[in-house]
């Protein structure tokens, strides 16, 4: 199925200036719009939409979420149609709070927390159909992740890829919903890219900035597309230009990755879903740890018998999650040391596993954890995110478990029922009035259902 693009929203007969300038963004727009969409693709998009919206609702039940909703309520005008950009900002910020949103490995982008809020806010504003929303979400995931795959590993050491690549995804999803032609879509991507930003410095103090990253990226894409619909132009060569995104922020960029393998499956279907509420870099360790916990329990080995735990993984996991002492829930979610301790001690690695009581219970074991970069996981990253955990007992006996891919990756996917169960858990955490109804309404969009009315904000 191919979607015909037409100019839906033109004010006073104006339209964006035509530009025949060759560019990577133009090639990306064409590549994305030429990809066929199957029923299975729509089903996958509906499940990822469910995951993202459930994360937004769950995010309300947090300190940062309460601040964001207070901000939104204090700035929302009464008796007017909600501003789509502001709604996208709120939903994007909420979606990224609990560290349970999706993750695309090769790009190290969380596309759902940016693309779904932007697309849903616009579809709701213009009363568009559920199928239109899902196709737009496929487009948005494609843009954010393809640009993310091109930025190179050096970019990720300073820049948060979700924040920097996300605006492109939000813009292309918004362009689809607004019916922008290729020229207007290129302008939207150009201006979205000029708003790309987001630094990792917040990790030093556990500040709430990461949530701002997702919200801003979603809003930036919406604004760029809405302005393009009115004739507002943007730089076509925002990616590869002499003063563009790659030159400014990507020392080892791979521009060809933007359009490489154009006939590959939709990147949304190559995106991982998180089963545990922590940074995805901790998940191979948690996955291996849960296996080891079962083995220790089966053999009656006490936690006190552990002398040392060794975690071997790839460099990016160490860069982001080597945190021997976690002093808050948020720091614990970015700690390999706490994560493996929690996987071995806690019955379930859920929200409570990162709370005050769990951190206190796990601190002693976490202090016994050593982390290091090791092969083959270092070279396999970012195509696969894996690692090995080795438990060494006081007796000298060792237990080992390793993962090439973590649970929730395309190679080890959650089932449809598991994704629904996760969404229901998130909706209950967010105190949604009727989780079952919300799940059904969102999933029906894949079968041609209308855009659901949800209590999101």
Name the superfamily (CATH) of residues 24-275+413-447: 2-methylcitrate dehydratase PrpD (1.10.4100.10)
**SS3 of 191-260:** HHHCCCCCEHHHHHCCCCHHHHHHHHHHHHHHHHHHHHHCCCCCCCCCCCCCCCHHHHHCCCCCHHHHCC
Q: CB under 8 Å to 289, separation ≥6 — which residues?
A: 339, 340, 342, 343, 344, 389, 401
Angle, CA of 148, 405 and 392, to the nearest 5°? 125
Label the pairing between strands 387-393 and 398-403. Answer: antiparallel
Classify each residue of 39-51 as buried b or exposed e, where b means 16 or more C-beta atoms within 10 Å of its C-beta. Answer: eebbbbbbbbbbb
Fold classified for 280-403: 60s Ribosomal Protein L30; Chain: A; (3.30.1330)
Inter-residue contact 255 to 24 (CB < 8 Å): yes
- pTM value surpassing 0.75: yes
Between CA 223 and CA 132 the distance in angstroms is 19
Inter-residue contact 435 to 429 (CB < 8 Å): no
Inter-residue contact 276 to 336 (CB < 8 Å): no
| Ramachandran angles phi, psi of 312, nearest 5° | -110, 130
pLDDT at 75: 74
Between CA 201 and CA 22 the distance in angstroms is 36
- Listed residue (43, 49, 87) closest to 68, CA to CA: 87
Between CA 167 and CA 92 the distance in angstroms is 11
Between CA 279 and CA 437 the distance in angstroms is 29
Inter-residue contact 421 to 100 (CB < 8 Å): no
Quick one: 450 exposed, middle or buried, by C-beta within 10 A (0-12, 13-18, 19+)? middle
Classify each residue of 123-149 as buried b or exposed e, where b means 16 or more C-beta atoms within 10 Å of its C-beta. Answer: bbbbebebbbbbbbbbbbbbbbbbbbb
Q: Please provide the size of the chain in residues.
A: 457
pLDDT at 80: 72
Between CA 98 and CA 60 the distance in angstroms is 10
pLDDT at 455: 77
Starting at the edge strand found earlier in the chain, the sheet holding 369-373 runs 369-373, 306-313, 387-393, 398-403
Between CA 208 and CA 184 the distance in angstroms is 34
Q: Which residues pair with 365 in a beta bridge?
A: none
Residues (pLDDT < 50) of the chain are: 1-14
Domain ranges of the chain: 24-275+413-447, 280-403
């Amino acid at each position: 199925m191919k979607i015909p693009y037409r100019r839906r929203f033109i004010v006073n007969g104006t339209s964006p200036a035509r530009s025949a300038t060759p560019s990577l963004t133009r090639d990306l727009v064409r590549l994305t719009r030429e990809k066929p969409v199957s029923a299975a693709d729509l089903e996958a998009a509906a499940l990822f939409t469910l995951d993202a919206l459930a994360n937004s609702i769950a995010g309300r039940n947090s300190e940062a979420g309460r601040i964001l909703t207070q901000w939104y309520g204090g700035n929302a005008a009464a008796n007017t149609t909600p501003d789509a950009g502001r709604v996208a900002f709120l939903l994007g910020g909420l979606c990224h709070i609990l560290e349970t949103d999706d993750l695309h490995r090769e790009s190290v982008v969380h596309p759902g927390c940016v693309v779904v809020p932007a697309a849903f806010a616009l579809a709701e504003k213009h009363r568009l159909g559920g199928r239109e929303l899902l196709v737009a979400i496929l487009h948005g995931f494609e843009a954010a992740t393809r640009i993310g795959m091109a930025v190179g590993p050096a970019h990720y050491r300073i820049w948060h890829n979700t924040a920097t690549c996300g605006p492109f995804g939000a813009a292309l999803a918004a362009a689809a919903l607004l019916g922008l032609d290729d020229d207007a879509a290129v302008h939207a991507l150009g201006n979205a890219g000029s708003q790309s930003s987001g630094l990792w410095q917040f990790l030093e103090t556990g500040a709430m900035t990461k949530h701002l990253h997702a919200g801003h990226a979603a809003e930036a894409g919406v604004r760029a597309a809405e302005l393009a619909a009115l004739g507002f132009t943007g730089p076509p060569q925002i990616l590869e230009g002499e003063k563009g995104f790659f030159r400014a922020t990507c020392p080892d960029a791979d521009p060809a990755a933007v359009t490489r393998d154009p006939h590959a499956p939709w990147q949304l279907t190559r995106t991982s879903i998180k089963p545990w509420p922590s940074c995805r870099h901790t998940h191979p360790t948690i996955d291996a740890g849960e296996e080891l916990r079962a083995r220790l329990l089966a053999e009656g080995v006490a936690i006190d018998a552990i002398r040392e735990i060794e975690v071997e993984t790839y460099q990016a996991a160490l860069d982001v999650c080597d945190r021997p002492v976690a002093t808050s829930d948020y720091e614990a979610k970015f700690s390999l040391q706490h994560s493996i301790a929690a996987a071995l001690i806690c019955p379930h690695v859920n929200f409570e596993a990162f709370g005050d009581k769990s951190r206190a219970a796990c601190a002693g074991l976490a202090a016994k954890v050593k982390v290091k970069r090791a092969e083959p996981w270092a070279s396999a990253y970012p195509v696969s995110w894996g690692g090995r955990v080795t438990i060494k007992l006081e007796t000298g006996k060792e237990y080992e478990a390793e993962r090439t891919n973590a649970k929730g990756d395309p190679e080890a996917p959650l089932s449809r029922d598991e994704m629904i169960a996760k969404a229901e858990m998130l909706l209950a955490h967010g105190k949604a009035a009727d989780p079952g109804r919300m799940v059904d309404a969102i999933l029906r969009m894949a079968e041609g259902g209308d855009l659901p009315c949800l209590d999101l904000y």
